Amino acid sequence: MIRKLLIANRGEIARRVIRTCREVGVSPVAVFSDPDADAPHVREADAAVRLPGATPSDTYLRGDALVAAALAAGADAVHPGYGFLSENASFARAVLAAGLTWVGPDPEVIDAMGSKVAAKKRMAAAGVPVLPELDPESADEFPLLVKASAGGGGRGMRVVRSRAELAEQVAAARREAESAFGDGTVFCEPLLEHARHVEVQVLADAHGTVWALGERECSIQRRHQKIIEETPSPAVTPQARERLFDAATKAAEAIGYVGAGTVEFLLTDEGSFHFLEVNTRLQVEHPVTEEVFGVDLVAWQLAIAEGARLPVDPPTPNGHAIEARLYAEDPAHDWRPASGTVHRFAVPDGVRVDSGVEDGSEVGVHYDPMLAKVIAWAPTRHAAIRKLAAALERTEIHGLITNRDLLVRTLRHPEFGAGNTHTDFLDQHALTTPEPVDVRPAALAAALALAERRRTAALPLGWRNLPSQRQKTVFEHEGDAVEVDYRHTRTGVETSLGLTVVATSPDAVTFERDGVRTTFPVAVYGDRVEVGSVSLTPRPRFPEPEAKIAEGASVAPMPGTVVRVSVEPGQRVEAGAELLVLEAMKMEHRVPAATGGTVTEVLVQAGQQVDAGDVLAIVEAEDSLAGSSGGAVS
């Protein structure tokens, strides 16, 4: 019997495992890095052990430190969660060698599936369809996909469309794989464009019973990482489902799998499917399976680790479930991750929320920027889509830019509703480009609410002896200036937007237009004003002089580590050319040249830590060079 469980992970998955521990009567033990000292999962556990340091390599990727933490806390078992060391056979062996129960498959199975190259050979021998493997050094079949052999979560993956870019993309994939997994081995396979990503949840006990608990459609992806998942798949027919389940069961039986795992496939429009990998752990998207099948997969993981038997037949599925992953990132700017304080996080009732953050949580630069998963269940797919989109639209996330609006646009896209999804869906339908929105009503609400805050705080509002003059306020929204004005009259507040002001308070403003009233909630955090989903920063009337960034300078878009400098002083570059590469939140991010010209300065070097806004390199534009070369003589 497991009495005390160390959760060798953080954030959302740690809280998820803690929740099941409470339900089944197991005492949860957390671990935490220094940045996570005040994280929710630390407070919710019965005990917590510090892992000194901040980076994953110093903390959550230290198998020896995790085992020592389990022993120090008196735990008798370890649950690895997902990511970090969840698929590391050496860590599993170290847990077992310490006399602890490992909540997962045998280390030999993890080893067998940990290398995607070896796993494909093993599956082919078991009769599971696989894609041919291509040599990264000499591949001549394009387009192709470079993949990390030990990878997952989209890290260490690159699309290559010509031989000219092969070497560069292979090198980048190797660096990212080495950083994320400690193994830079990569391989290539043909890229199946417009294919679907479909996976089968398996659950197996140590007594020979294997369940195939439905398939999950995971085709909506960014950077090869899933952001929307659902079960059942709208593309899988009963006949195809039977073949998928048979292949997944064969895969599990071929390796003697025990515990919860996932067999992933690519599904073509013609209905053929090809093995991708076996994830020897719990998946991020496991909640949709739990909602449809009425099971607790974490509870089954613990029970199977204790030797329990599965019933012969799996439970019957019921209805449809969809999950959306909320990330602190900017889809419109190459999925740039965001860090900072989550001032407010609130999701409406009626949906399941698995979250790693709460009001006041800090999102740092060292870990994946996923904030939460929001899951909706309904009797039909259409009802589940509508329920999830409405819940996301009403979700309050203050303090950080997120992918929330992209998720809502995707869920409400007619092609998604029709079930016509594939792995390049977002690019095909240009969904990363925000829809134009008139933010002036939100800015006007912000201006009126701020005025109410000053009035109730007895702060000076300003005084005019010319009633014809309007009060003007300028905000900044996503780099653009938004100016609004209003005037108090004897009959109320007059605006230039055709809105009637019904009520104002420091926290909300109600407008009426053509007989329809709308209330705008307003929250203020320092110099940031949140009006619904619109974030605004008031611009001062008399701004302080500030240091001017040199023309042609490229600055760090986020805190991170320089992993490669691609240019040197004196080198000529085109606009958009790669100047250097930053690593932040476990992903690589290119820093391009804003203009074509000559590199005059490179201010950083590989391995250097930088902060957002730091100047990294300066490119002198072509017209500047021409202007400084002297005039022509006739």
Q: Give the residue-averaged pLDDT of 609-615.
A: 89
Q: What's the distance, CA 120 to chain centroid?
A: 27
Q: What mean pLDDT value characterizes the chain?
A: 92
H/E segment holding residue 49: strand 47-50
Tell me the CA distances in angstroms from 257 to 86, 88, 114, one per residue in order.
15, 15, 13
For residue 137, pLDDT over 90 is answered with: no
For residue 313, pLDDT over 80 is answered with: yes
pLDDT digits (tens, 9 = 90+) for 78-134: 999 999 999 999 999 999 999 999 999 999 999 999 888 889 999 999 999 999 989
Which tokens is 552 given? 């042609």
| Cross-sheet strand order for the sheet of 144-148 | 158-160, 144-148, 186-190
For residue 221, pLDDT over 80 is answered with: yes
Which tokens is 370 given? 């996923």
pLDDT digits (tens, 9 = 90+) for 182-198: 788 999 999 988 899 99
Q: Where in the chain is the domain with CATH 3.30.1490.20?
A: 132-190
In degrees and rounded to multiples of 5, residue 458 shows phi and psi of 60, 35
Residue 630: band (very low, low, confident or very high) from pLDDT cuts 50, 70, 90: very low
pLDDT digits (tens, 9 = 90+) for 405-415: 999 999 999 99
Q: For residues 301 and 464, which has the higher predicted lDDT (pLDDT)?
A: 301
d(CA 625, CA 329): 37
pLDDT digits (tens, 9 = 90+) for 31-59: 999 999 999 999 999 999 999 999 999 99
- The pLDDT, as a whole number, for residue 33 is 98
Which tokens is 113 given? 């599936």
Q: Where in the chain is the domain with CATH 3.30.700?
A: 440-538
Tell me the CA distances in angstroms from 219 to 193, 231, 423, one per residue in order.
11, 12, 5
For residue 626, pLDDT over 70 is answered with: no
Count of C-beta atoms within a 10 Å radius of residue 7: 28
pLDDT digits (tens, 9 = 90+) for 509-521: 999 999 999 999 9
pLDDT digits (tens, 9 = 90+) for 240-255: 999 999 999 999 999 9
In degrees and rounded to multiples of 5, residue 525 shows phi and psi of -130, 95
d(CA 274, CA 279): 15
For residue 12, pLDDT over 90 is answered with: yes
Residue 634: band (very low, low, confident or very high) from pLDDT cuts 50, 70, 90: very low
- The pLDDT, as a whole number, for residue 623 is 65
- The pLDDT, as a whole number, for residue 605 is 94
- The pLDDT, as a whole number, for residue 68 is 98
Q: Where in the chain is the domain with CATH 3.40.50.20?
A: 4-103
We find that the CATH architecture of domain 553-627 is Beta Barrel (2.40)
Count of C-beta atoms within a 10 Å radius of residue 415: 13
Residue 467: band (very low, low, confident or very high) from pLDDT cuts 50, 70, 90: low
**Three-class SS state of 519:** strand
For residue 539, pLDDT over 80 is answered with: yes
Count of C-beta atoms within a 10 Å radius of residue 181: 24
User: Within 13 A of 112's CA, how many CA atoms are on the CB side?
Assistant: 16
Note if the bond before 232 is cis, omega within 30 degrees: yes
Q: Give the residue-averaged pLDDT of 68-81.
A: 98
Q: For residues 479 and 24, which has the higher predicted lDDT (pLDDT)?
A: 24
Q: Give the residue-averaged pLDDT of 285-291.
A: 98
pLDDT digits (tens, 9 = 90+) for 164-186: 999 999 999 998 888 777 788 99
| Cross-sheet strand order for the sheet of 492-495 | 492-495, 480-489, 471-477, 534-538, 528-531, 516-525, 508-513, 500-504
Class of residue 212 by CB neighbours under 10 A (exposed 0-12, middle 13-18, buried 19+): buried
**String of DSSP letters for 159-208:** EE-SGGGHHHHHHHHHHHHHHHHS---EEEEE--TT-EEEEEEEEE-TTS
**CA torsion angle for 127, 130, 136, 137 (degrees, to 10)?**
60
Give the CATH number of domain 4-103; options: 3.90.1150.10, 3.30.420.40, 3.40.50.20, 3.30.1600.10. Answer: 3.40.50.20
**String of DSSP letters for 416-459:** HHTT---TTHHHHTTTTSPPP---HHHHHHHHHHHHHHHHHTT-
Nearest by Cα to 335 from 436, 428, 223: 223
Give the CATH number of domain 196-428; options: 3.40.50.1400, 3.10.110.10, 3.20.20.70, 3.30.470.20. Answer: 3.30.470.20
For residue 366, pLDDT over 50 is answered with: yes
For residue 528, pLDDT over 50 is answered with: yes
Q: Would you say 624 and 550 are in contact if contact means Cβ atoms under 8 Å apart?
A: no
| Cross-sheet strand order for the sheet of 352-355 | 273-279, 259-267, 196-204, 210-222, 225-231, 320-327, 370-378, 352-355
H/E segment holding residue 510: strand 508-513
In degrees and rounded to multiples of 5, residue 149 shows phi and psi of -65, -35
DSSP classification of residue 380: S
Please give the CATH number for the structural domain made up of 132-190: 3.30.1490.20
The pTM for the full model equals 0.89
Q: List the end-to-end C-alpha distance of the chain, in Å, as a whole number.
A: 95
**Three-class SS state of 79:** strand
Which tokens is 509 given? 């403003």
For residue 631, pLDDT over 60 is answered with: no
Tell me the CA distances in angstroms from 312 to 27, 301, 306, 499, 586, one per residue in order.
30, 17, 18, 65, 41
Length of the chain: 634
- The pLDDT, as a whole number, for residue 628 is 46
d(CA 325, CA 226): 8
Please give the CATH number for the structural domain made up of 440-538: 3.30.700
**String of DSSP letters for 578-604:** EEEEEEETTEEEEEE-SSSEEEEEE--
Q: Give the residue-averaged pLDDT of 328-332.
A: 95
Note if the bond before 506 is cis, omega within 30 degrees: no
Which residue type does 301 have?
Q
Point out the residues that are catalytic. 281
Q: Would you say 581 and 560 are in contact if contact means Cβ atoms under 8 Å apart?
A: no
Q: Where in the chain is the domain with CATH 2.40.50.100?
A: 553-627
Backbone region of residue 549 per phi and psi (left: phi > 0; alpha: psi in -120 to 50; beta: other values): beta
